[in-house]
Structure 1
Amino acid sequence: MSRALRAAGRALWEVGDPEETRLLLGHDAVPAGHAVVERYLAVPNVTHPRYLLPLAGGGRAAARTLDDFNGLRPPAVRWQRSLLASALRARLVGAGSTRSVRVSRSGAAPGPSLLGAVAAALDVAPGDLMLAAGMRAGGGHAKQTVLVTDRSGAARAFVKVGVGTDLVGRLRAEHAALTRLQASDTAVRFVAPLFLVPWEGRLLLGVAPMPVTVARVGRRDWPAAHAALDRVVARLGPRRRSWAGSRWQRDLLARAGRVEGVLGESIREAAARFADRVGDHGGDLGFRHGDWSPWNVARTPDGQWWSWDLEYAQLSAPLGLDRANWAFTVAHGQRHRSVGRALTSARRLLARHVARPDLVVAGYALEMAVRHAEFDPGLTAADGALADRLVAHLLGPGVYRADYRADYRAAYRAAYRAAYRAAYRDRR
């Protein structure tokens, strides 16, 4: 079973105890005492799944889960999804031995049902809903996001499944931010929160779907997107104060002090240097999206801006961090520029908007190093490798290489490039 399917099984169906719930691939026999309760189509196959599509509503319903919101995808992926949807409607793709995924449960002790929890939160019958999910290659986070549809394939909600204290806390913060934003008339519309409910030691955050006509923003739209976010910040009321006394800096330094693993000592050193460098610098603080990037913002044909994924949103953070994130993720994630060149791109973008772009970018780099080191303290995947490069940039090559041998970095350099490019492949 692929890593992506194994992670989805744990997150969505509590697959773990084979006596209660099992994922059956291909022609796997149904265990004695079990009954198949959900059926899916893994595309292109169960070994390398890219999409997990529901079969309960037939091929047309599965095709609709691909057609809706397809405007958010880059051209190559949009073409791929449209072609697959056409094949599903024409019944050219079926659940053969290489694509069938079934969920079986013990009749004596039926396992927990995410569909049941979502149906209860939406006040509908579980049999009226289906799940569809994308499998992200190279992703190592413990969060699974699924599309919940009715039997015709029409979207009813997007649901994030949070596991672990850190992710559960972020989903609670996202729900609070979305609730606060719904009460404000802002230039950007944010997805509406529908529910926040516990489920089997996890937390489920459900948000309403956007209009299916939303489309990804092109490069020419980027300045307008930033201007729309500026109007959101202005509406929520920015204020000027010292960074040293801000909750943003206190929380950042506290998180840096708790980082464990290979980079813990170096991140604490980088945090101490950043605090000394900031001193009593005063700057504008205001609303921050937290993951402002071309793949988290879209626009409808009538010009309405939409945004989502506010797990790291803050009501008071240094202005400029969102622009820095946009510039860095485009340069490093999409164009595969080095960390140093990507941070330089962020400084250049901020030079026209904030008084101290160097401090904003330094704070951003430290925050990203902490975030990715928390994801991967052992430096075994793309997150840890990115944290490694950010820390090297913050401390300087002389200091950093005196603390750590260069050979361990070379050991996973190729794996880092492959994993990071796979994670961002669909965003080009």
Structure 2
Amino acid sequence: MTDGGAHGGAQGGAHGGEDPLVATFGSLWPGAAVTARPDGRWALVPNARRPRQVVPVSSRLAAGRTLCRFSSDSSPAQVVRRVAGAAVVGATRGALLGTRVGLSGEPVDSLARHLGELMGQPVTFSVGIGSERVNRKPVLQVFDERGRTLAFVKIGDSEVARADVTAEGANLRRVAAAPLRDVVAPRVLHESWWRDRVVLVLEPLGSLRASLPRPRRARTAPPLAAMDDLARAFAEPGTPLEDLAWWSEQRRLSLQMADLDQGRRLRVAMDRLEVLADGRAWPVGAWHGDWTPWNMAPAARGRVHLWDWERFETGVPRGLDRMHHAVNVATVRHGASPEVVVGALPAGSVTERVLAGAYLVAVTNRYLLLAATERGEHIRDRGSCVLAALEELAGLGVSDRSAGSPAGCPGRRSA
């Protein structure tokens, strides 16, 4: 970011020292420069040194709604801070909202123009990219000129992000045709390409209840009825684990690992799970693939708003979403290690143990294959950790593993 005559550049990011969020924001107006200026139409929130959002300040309503938005695992203190920030926006007309920035040399060809053409009206938007992780991507909250939310937009701007955004669009179209009672997924409004980016426009899922502080138990308890609703909507005949096409695909994926020994260890664990399963037929259905407290919010009539569908799969053993939710709640609360992962999984019976193992097979493949992609270093340790947890749960001894299995699997977010 250039300073437009005053020092204001964010430091420490990519693109020649520019902050990644600022660089991403500038790339949405090719050829323009992001400059610090008192009368700028956007603000870096909370400030230019550590920006987490680029917020439009031309509309107090849009700015306030951006600040009030948060994941449903936010603490009550975070909620209070964000609501207070939104109130400040309204009271001060945005004067105290972060570092103001604008664009110099604003081009005709911009994402704002592209979205305006898709939506049939002029738009503005906020931009966030999240924390540094393998599947990070820009997410926009799009507003009309009055500040009303029109849509949320995901931008596939890397190889991994393009694959994820494309998969989510296809998955959401499939989910939209399913007879769901308790799960509400966003509808796809538009899907297009802009320059070399995939642009997925989704309807906003608004929930007033989601913006209210809730007890920790209510924020972390798994919505079992909604999970069952999704699994049943794609039910298939019961099938032995080793006969599932999904299970065969897990074996195939393990052969693609860059670390051949990790792939071998995974297949040894899969062999052990097949012995434990003993040829029994498993209920088969679907799973969301990343059902966590921060990807959901309560909706009216006991339903659940659920987003981030890029990992959705059918033809899987029913119950995997419950496992993923439990592991992510536990690792946030207690820290990440193989022991915490195994302790979070129900494994009192052979049936539960096999299902928990099947879940760990899936996420081990996911994380370790992503570890070989751009920014894969952010998921590599987590993949090694869940592989160690899988071996522990399957009852494999040290002789079946490589030396030096990690004691922890850092990082809060799944991928």
Shorter-chain TM-score range: 0.7 to 0.9
Does 146-155 or 68-77 show the bigger shift? 68-77
2:186–2:307 CA contact under 8 A, matched in 1: yes
Structure 2: which amino acid aligns with 1:189?
V
1:296–1:309 CA contact under 8 A, matched in 2: yes
Does 40-49 or 378-387 show the bigger shift? 378-387
| Matches of 1:49 and 1:142, distance apart in 2 | 15
Residues paired across the two proteins, number: 388
Change (3 A) 1:81 1:70: farther
1:160–1:204 CA contact under 8 A, matched in 2: yes
- The 5-angstrom pairing of residues 290-301 of structure 1 reads 290-301=289-300
Report whether the alignment pairs 1:44 with 2:41: no
Structure 1 residue 380 displacement after superposition: 7.5
Q: Match of 2:135, SS? A: coil
Structure 1 residue 227 displacement after superposition: 1.4
User: Please, what TM-score do these two structures have when normalized by structure 1?
Assistant: 0.78
Structure 1 residue 256 displacement after superposition: 2.6
| Matches of 1:12 and 1:112, distance apart in 2 | 14
Change (3 A) 1:250 1:119: farther
Report whether the alignment pairs 1:120 with 2:117: yes
Structure 1: which amino acid aligns with 2:33?
R
Report whether the alignment pairs 1:8 with 2:21: yes
Does 218-227 or 319-328 show the bigger shift? 218-227
- The 5-angstrom pairing of residues 347-426 of structure 1 reads 347-348=346-347, 356-377=351-372, 381-395=377-391, 398-399=398-399, 402-404=402-404, 417=410, 420=411
Report whether the alignment pairs 1:225 with 2:223: yes
TM-superposition CA deviations, 1:336-386 (whole Å, max 9, x none) = 2533222222224xx58xx62222222322322332233434997542221
TM-superposition CA deviations, 1:50-107 (whole Å, max 9, x none) = 33211232x34311332367877431221111111111111175378x712333336x
2:42–2:56 CA contact under 8 A, matched in 1: yes
1:9–1:15 CA contact under 8 A, matched in 2: no
What residue number does 1:159 align with? Answer: 153
| Matches of 2:29 and 2:101, distance apart in 1 | 16
TM-superposition CA deviations, 1:236-282 (whole Å, max 9, x none) = 3242113333232233233332233xxx2233112321332244554
User: Which structure features the higher share of helix residues?
Assistant: 1
User: Please, what TM-score do these two structures have when normalized by structure 2?
Assistant: 0.81
1:163–1:203 CA contact under 8 A, matched in 2: yes
Structure 1 residue 310 displacement after superposition: 0.8
Report whether the alignment pairs 1:22 with 2:33: yes
| Matches of 1:142 and 1:69, distance apart in 2 | 17
| Matches of 1:368 and 1:73, distance apart in 2 | 25
- The 5-angstrom pairing of residues 13-412 of structure 1 reads 13-14=26-27, 20-25=31-36, 39-57=41-59, 59-67=60-68, 73-91=74-92, 94=95, 99-105=99-105, 110=107, 112-122=109-119, 124-125=120-121, 128-134=122-128, 136-187=130-181, 188-215=183-210, 219-220=217-218, 225-260=223-258, 264-279=259-274, 282-348=281-347, 356-377=351-372, 381-395=377-391, 398-399=398-399, 402-404=402-404
| Matches of 1:327 and 1:118, distance apart in 2 | 38
Change (3 A) 1:100 1:221: closer
Runs of at least 5 residues in structure 1 that lack an aligned partner in the other structure: 28-35
Structure 1 residue 11 displacement after superposition: 4.3
1:236–1:286 CA contact under 8 A, matched in 2: yes
2:334–2:340 CA contact under 8 A, matched in 1: no
Structure 1 residue 208 displacement after superposition: 0.3
| Matches of 1:76 and 1:211, distance apart in 2 | 21
Change (3 A) 1:157 1:93: closer
| Matches of 1:220 and 1:205, distance apart in 2 | 31
2:129–2:136 CA contact under 8 A, matched in 1: no
1:129–1:149 CA contact under 8 A, matched in 2: yes
1:70–1:81 CA contact under 8 A, matched in 2: no
Runs of at least 5 residues in structure 2 that lack an aligned partner in the other structure: 1-9
Identity of aligned residues (%): 21
| Matches of 1:300 and 1:92, distance apart in 2 | 31
